[in-house]
């Protein structure tokens, strides 16, 4: 079975969130990963007919309702997860002004202690010079 993913940071924008869902529907995407999604006032959930969602304060995973899945509770508030088949899908967000150590430590423990395949996604807002000839800046 082929599973398709789409990831985007919607920057808390309503039109970006709605357009991303429309594109996912148009392209028959199976799993939609969002960081900084738009939530309706007083709700912490992306409203998308035909999709099930697990939403955190700054990240969300939407999966088509016809795909068997289960939400996986995590002890890290900026990370959400779903188990789909034998794969754990994780989406997270870290602000560029925050310390990344806690989230990366949690992600490392999660991957080390898990027998499932893991798909990590998200906006980590970090810098690296680990890749030769490549430098990022946040």
Average pLDDT over residues 105-122: 83
Q: Tell me, what's the pLDDT at 1?
A: 66
Q: What is the mean pLDDT of the chain?
A: 86
In a domain, 135, yes or no: no
Q: Tell me, what's the pLDDT at 35?
A: 95
Distances in Å between the Cα of 64 and the Cα atoms of 8, 68, 138 are: 17, 9, 33
The CATH number of whichever domain residue 82 belongs to comes to 3.60.10.10
Q: How far apart are CA 136 and CA 104, in angstroms?
A: 18
In a domain, 134, yes or no: no
- Sorting pLDDT into bands at 50, 70 and 90, what band is 10? very high
Contact assessment for residue 34 and residue 8, using Cβ atoms and an 8 Å cutoff? yes
Q: Which structural domain, as residue segments, surrounds residue 31?
A: 5-123
Q: How many domains does the chain have?
A: 1
In a domain, 138, yes or no: no
**In sequence order, what are the residues at sequence separation of 6 or more whose Cβ sits closer than 8 angstroms to the Cβ of residue 114?**
88
Which one has a higher pLDDT value, 14 or 77? 14
In a domain, 111, yes or no: yes
Phi, psi of 65, rounded to the nearest 5 degrees: -60, -25
- Residue 135: how many CB atoms within 10 A of its CB? 9
Q: Tell me, what's the pLDDT at 41?
A: 79
């Amino acid at each position: 079975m082929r599973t398709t993913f789409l990831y985007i940071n919607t920057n808390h924008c309503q039109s970006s969130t709605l357009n991303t869902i429309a594109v996912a529907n148009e392209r028959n995407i199976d799993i939609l990963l969002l960081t900084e999604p738009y939530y309706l006032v007083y709700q912490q959930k992306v409203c998308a007919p035909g999709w099930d969602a697990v939403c955190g304060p700054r990240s969300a995973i939407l999966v088509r309702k016809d795909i068997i899945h289960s939400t996986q509770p995590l002890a890290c508030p900026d990370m959400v997860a779903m188990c789909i088949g034998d794969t754990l899908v994780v989406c997270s967000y870290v602000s560029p002004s925050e310390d990344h150590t806690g989230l990366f430590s949690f992600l490392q423990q999660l991957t080390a202690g898990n027998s499932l395949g893991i798909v990590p996604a998200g906006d980590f807002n970090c810098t690296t010079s680990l890749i030769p000839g490549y430098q990022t800046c946040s």
